[in-house]
Amino acid sequence: MVENGSYSYNPRKRGYEACFLRRDSHSCSLDKLKDTKAALNYLLSIFPREVFVNKLPAIALKHQIYSIITDRTRVDRELNLLRDAGEIRFFKLDSGTDEFAVINSKDYTEVISMNLETHGLKDDQGIKEFLVKALPAIKDVSVEKSRIIRDFGLSDHVITSLMNLGIVNLRDEKSLWISIPFSAMFMKSLIAGRKAVLSMINKMKYKEILKSELERRDIKLHSKLGIAFHIHDIIGGDMVIQVSTTNGTLLRSVQSVKKRINKA
């Protein structure tokens, strides 16, 4: 058994688990990922926690799963079942669009616990009450302040402490986002890397590139997340169109497609 963050994988079980351990997406046979949970675990496995000094849990984007399993209705349904079972959590990203992160619930609480220990707050009773009682009961990406106070008996002081720790953020005067501490580090790499990868494609003669060629590109100057993470991002987020060719999958800029339609 091999440990990867808070996940344990046995590479003898299934072929795709060996890919998890190598963190090498283009050598993986993604067609072996037949269900949403397997696809999610693969995406979580390629998240480079070590470059964020383990301050972040492994993060996947909900739309990245669509790059592996194209039946989006099925993906949404299966993710909701995993959320309702308490296995995963959704988080609204501050990207200016309707994007959501998906994190293993156990991984999230482990990182929160380490963060509390760093701040000398692991024995804070109010925060412990929130993590043990409130958080598992909150399935949505946000929660009303009144519910935290009414249903879980927590005070405004506890809410302020949670905000200072980045566990919750203000949504509006009545509600809070459940959030990821240190998520700004992730968002910086996500946005910069996304722009860099799309720029690479748009600079090509026909604004298209073979996926296999893009997988060999280095984006370390722009993002800590790695090229595989960003390829799943731009495909699942409909920022490129996949075209099958005799040389392999071609990724074509959506901008290029729109221009061709307008000229027609």
Q: How far apart, in whole angstroms, are the C-alpha atoms of residue 241 and residue 239?
A: 7
Q: How far apart, in whole angstroms, are the C-alpha atoms of residue 92 and residue 134?
A: 18
Residue ranges making up the domain that contains 226: 183-263
pLDDT of residue 121: 86
What is the domain count for the chain?
Answer: 3
- Least confident window among 104-118, 121-135, 176-190, 247-261: 247-261
Residue 31 pLDDT class (50, 70, 90 cuts) = low
**Mean pLDDT value of segment 22-33:** 53
Same structural domain, 173 and 257: no
Q: Is position 259 within any domain?
A: yes
Q: Is position 48 within any domain?
A: yes
Q: Is position 138 within any domain?
A: yes
Of 133, 153, 178, which one is at a domain's C-terminal end? 178
For tokens 């307008």, what's the residue?
262
Residue 119 pLDDT class (50, 70, 90 cuts) = confident
pLDDT of residue 118: 85
Same structural domain, 23 and 49: yes
Same structural domain, 208 and 227: yes
User: The domain spanning residue 168 has which CATH number?
Assistant: 1.10.10
Length of the chain: 264
pTM score, whole prediction: 0.84
Q: Is the pLDDT of residue 6 over 60?
A: no
Question: 191-247 pLDDT, tens per residue?
Answer: 999 999 999 999 999 999 999 999 999 999 999 999 999 999 999 999 999 999 999
